[in-house]
Chain A
């Protein structure tokens, strides 16, 4: 049996007396498209932060590609192959769109390979990603000149520039129109077809159902369901969590 790409075991995280994550188990295989859902405050972002290293877990373990990564810093986890996009876009405001993509290439791809990409290679890879997300004509612009959906695309392109094995898209579609949501879902599927495993955290159920091959549901810091999307949405526990008794 092959080793899962990401394996979270009995993960716990508290903020003072508040239990944000209560013994979460999660296993994600290579090439999978996993949807992570749950009401506000259910611990989705905390789980992502613990996986990415932004927060340190209090208990349990996180394994990536078979290796324990609990003690690694965020940038070291990125170099191992975990990339994320943020709920609210966090572009580097003083850099151009193309330069935003250059940063993960310089600090992750280079560090991983132990060599330096040439200026031409950096430019070519950046241009390829910008074409993929439809921002090719915005390369020289500053992030402040982008629209909301373009900003989300930049966020995803920047995460992809690190050439990750696992991409965690944290509410990449919040506040977007239906057309823009469809656009981002199509983009995420396209990225998955390039061989990247994706965990998508989202509230927009239409997008989640379209994207996910598997659905994981968190409620109050605990996992209450994990399985095929069609089965999960009919699960009485999930219905109760979303709609109440």
Chain B
């Protein structure tokens, strides 16, 4: 299927989701749905680097927070419409991804992962000590009550996150089927062999860190407007780092479907647990699911389904000699 056709199908599905949410008419659907959509974007973004090229990023929260604090900065200095803030958050986080990639991509495996974690810590320290952004106290962002055409502002934020989710899914799928996707796969499989085949591995990894960072930043930009009050502990929260890794791993990392399925399943479960049992249970749900999948299905739900579909069907049962051929 061509990418343009796939994009149009995604837009149609998104329109259906938005229409259905409006039809239900319960604001909680928009609040919870926003979080699920935000994690779809984060999971796709993480997967572009971690899944496609095999470089595990523990610093997702830093890119997300960078997007959120870009919004806070502009909200205080020069208020702009949210779509523009999302674009700016994407640019800032994308550039941060490029910079981090340039410094850290000569490392591999656990060393790269630790470097991304260190990047998040450095950035959080910077924000905590930057008074203009609210420092450790945090910053209030008072969102408007309503917006033209859509009405309720939370509905508007949901709509924007839905559009971003469509964009991230389409981008991930397009990459997967492109020359870039083959390059990413070779980096994941064997970097030395990739270079020997003419793949400019460093350049491709920088593209991956930039794209991944940009999408995370875009996902973080509307966050202050959604939550109304942003503080470093929330924006740099452990749940963003853990969820954005766990969701693709649970869904499957080699394809765009994996992060989508993982995010819907895990974020949906977390929202359900928050409402029915306790909000503290969210990370426990992720932890248990992750441990379970690592043991039972290391290639995620998509891998599990693929293995099931590609496994040869059992041979037809042959009647034993002692058994009459027409026995039931």
Which residues of A are in contact with B by a Cβ distance under 8 Å?
A: 52-54, 73-75, 78-79, 83-84, 86, 90-95, 99, 102-104, 106-108, 110-111, 158-159, 161-162
Contact = CB atoms under 8 A, between A and B. Distances in A.
B141 interface: no
A75 B187 CA distance: 13
Interface string B197-224: 1111100000000000000000000000
A93 B197 CA distance: 15
A90 B190 CA distance: 7
Interface stretch (B28-36, B87-95, B166-174, B178-186): B178-186
A158 B189 CA distance: 15
A74 B195 contact: yes
Q: What DSSP secondary structure best describes chain A's contact surface? A: helix
B196 A103 contact: no
B182 A103 contact: yes
Contacts of A86: 192-193, 196
A94 B182 contact: no
A92 B186 contact: yes
B182 A106 contact: yes
Given A92-B186, A102-B182, A106-B182, A111 B192 contact: no
Contacts of B201: 75
B193 A78 contact: no
A107 B188 CA distance: 16
Contacts of B179: 106-107, 110
Contact of A108 (B182, B186, B198): B198
Given A95-B182, A102-B182, A108 B189 contact: no
A94 B196 contact: no
B186 A103 contact: yes
Contacts of B195: 53-54, 73-75, 78
A54 B195 CA distance: 9
A93 B189 contact: yes
A107 B183 contact: yes
Nearest to A84: B196
Contacts of B200: 73, 75, 107
Given A94-B254, A106-B179, A162 B185 contact: no
Contacts of A102: 182
B265 interface: no
Q: Which 8 A-B pairs have the closest CB atoms?
A: A108-B198, A74-B195, A107-B198, A90-B193, A92-B189, A78-B198, A104-B197, A90-B190
Given A106-B179, A106-B182, A95 B189 contact: yes
Contact of B197 (A54, A94, A103): A103
Contacts of A75: 195-201
- Report, as a range, how many residues of chain B touch the other chain: 10 to 19
B194 interface: yes
Contact of B198 (A93, A94, A162): A162
Given A104-B197, A107-B197, A99 B182 contact: yes
Given A90-B190, A90-B193, A111 B185 contact: no
25 contacts: A52-B196, A53-B195, A73-B195, A74-B196, A75-B196, A75-B199, A75-B200, A78-B198, A86-B196, A90-B192, A90-B193, A91-B189, A91-B193, A93-B189, A93-B190, A94-B185, A94-B188, A95-B186, A102-B182, A104-B197, A104-B198, A107-B183, A107-B200, A158-B197, A162-B198
Given A92-B189, A92-B190, A94-B189, A83 B196 contact: yes
A54 B185 contact: no
A167 to B, nearest CB: 11
A106 B197 CA distance: 9
Nearest to B201: A75
Given A78-B196, A86-B193, 11 more contacts: A54-B192, A73-B200, A75-B195, A78-B197, A92-B186, A95-B186, A95-B189, A107-B183, A107-B198, A107-B200, A108-B197
Contacts of A106: 179, 182-183
B281 to A, nearest CB: 35
A11 B254 CA distance: 42
Contacts of B194: 92, 103
Contacts of A90: 190, 192-193
Contacts of B196: 52, 54, 74-75, 78, 83-84, 86, 159
